[in-house]
Structure 1
Amino acid sequence: MSHSLGIAIESLVAALLMLTIAYCMLLNKRLKCLKADEHSLKATIGELITATEIAERAIGGLKLTVRDVNENLRNQIAAAGSLSEQLDKQLAEGDNVLRRLSRIASAARQPAAEPLAHAHAQAQAQALSPAKAVAAAAQAFAERRRADGIAA
């Protein structure tokens, strides 16, 4: 009986060893899958790190571009302000020239014969030569224009 008890125990141990070997094979298979998943996870993490580095470089480039655009825009705004001031000055000067031209045109519309007649009468009264009479008339005309605020 001791012999059959020994065989039973040995058989039981052999069966347990077989179960252990089968379980180890199952664990080995699962560990291989886990290692494969680990490698794919490492590859995914590596790709994510690479994408993150590329994104960081792109963000740095965008920041530089924004700074450049901001500086360029600031310069263009300053240039536009300067140009606006120049245009305002030129418009004011144009208005001044237009007012002066209007005064000259209105003065030209007035009868020009009146100062000439007055100068001619003075010349005849003084019995001056014709050249002196023309000079006196021109002088009277110039004095009249200066009195109106228009330089002749």
Structure 2
Amino acid sequence: MSHSLGIVIEGLVAVLLVLTIAYCMLLNKRLKKLKADEQSLKATIGELITVTEIAERAIGGLKHTVRDVNENLGAQINAATALADQLKAQLAEGDHVVRRISKIAIAARPLVAQAEPEAPAPRATSARANAAAAQAFVERRRPDGIAA
């Protein structure tokens, strides 16, 4: 009996050894798969790093472009504002000149009407009055080119 107990124990040890070998083979396959996944993961990480560097360079370029656009746009807005102010002043001066011309023309008309009250004023007289008003306007011109 001691002999059969030894065989049973050795058989049990042999079965356990076979199970251990099978489990080791299964673990070996899993480790190989894990190493293959590690290589693909390293490749993916390398590609991700490359793409990130490209994106960082592109963002830097965009920031530089935005800065340039802001500077140029600010300068153009300032120039446009100055031009708008200049045009506003010129329009106001032009309006003032038109009003003065109107006053001169109105002032010249009663003189023509008093000189010939009986006959209606012919067109030539009206044209002469306008020419005289314009001549008076030119004579009152300031040195800077704006009428007084």
Length-normalised TM-score, structure 1: 0.68
Q: Deviations over 1:65-91 (max 9, x none)?
A: 110111111111111101101101110
- 1:93 corresponds in structure 2 to 86
- Give the structure 1 partner of residue 17 of structure 2: 24
Q: What is the aligned-residue RMSD (CA, Å)?
A: 2.9
Residue 66 of structure 2 corresponds to: 73
Answer whether contact 2:141 2:147 (CA < 8 A) is retained.
yes
Q: Deviations over 1:83-120 (max 9, x none)?
A: 10110111011112102211211111013464xx7xxx
Letter aligned with residue 147 of structure 2: A
Larger radius of gyration: 1
2:114 is matched with which residue? none
Deviation at 1:9, TM superposition (A): 5.4
Picking from 140, 144, 152, the partner of 2:140 is 144
1:83 aligns with 2:76: yes
Letter in 2 for 1:38: L
Shift of 1:20: 2.5
Distance 2:69 2:76 in 1: 10
In structure 2, the residue corresponding to 1:106 is in which secondary structure?
Answer: helix
| TM superposition shift of 1:51 | 1.9
Q: Report runs of 4+ in structure 1 exceeding 6 Å deviation.
A: none
List gaps (5 residues or longer) in structure 1.
1-7, 118-133
SS at 1:110 equivalent: helix
Greater shift in the superposed pair: 9-18 or 23-32: 9-18
Count of aligned pairs: 124
- Aligned AA (2:32): H
Report the residue type matching 1:104 in the other structure.
V
Residue in structure 2 matched with residue 47 of structure 1 by the alignment = 40
Equivalent AA in structure 1 for residue 86 of structure 2: E
1:146 alignment partner, SS class: coil
Query: C-alpha displacement at 1:59, in angstroms?
Result: 1.4
Q: Counterparts of 1:106-145 in structure 2 under 5 Å? A: 106-112=99-105, 114=108, 138=135, 140-145=136-141
Q: CA deviation at 1:44?
A: 2.1
**What is the TM-score when the length of structure 2 is the normalising length?**
0.69
Q: Is the Cα–Cα contact under 8 Å of residues 103 and 150 in structure 1 kept in the other structure?
A: no
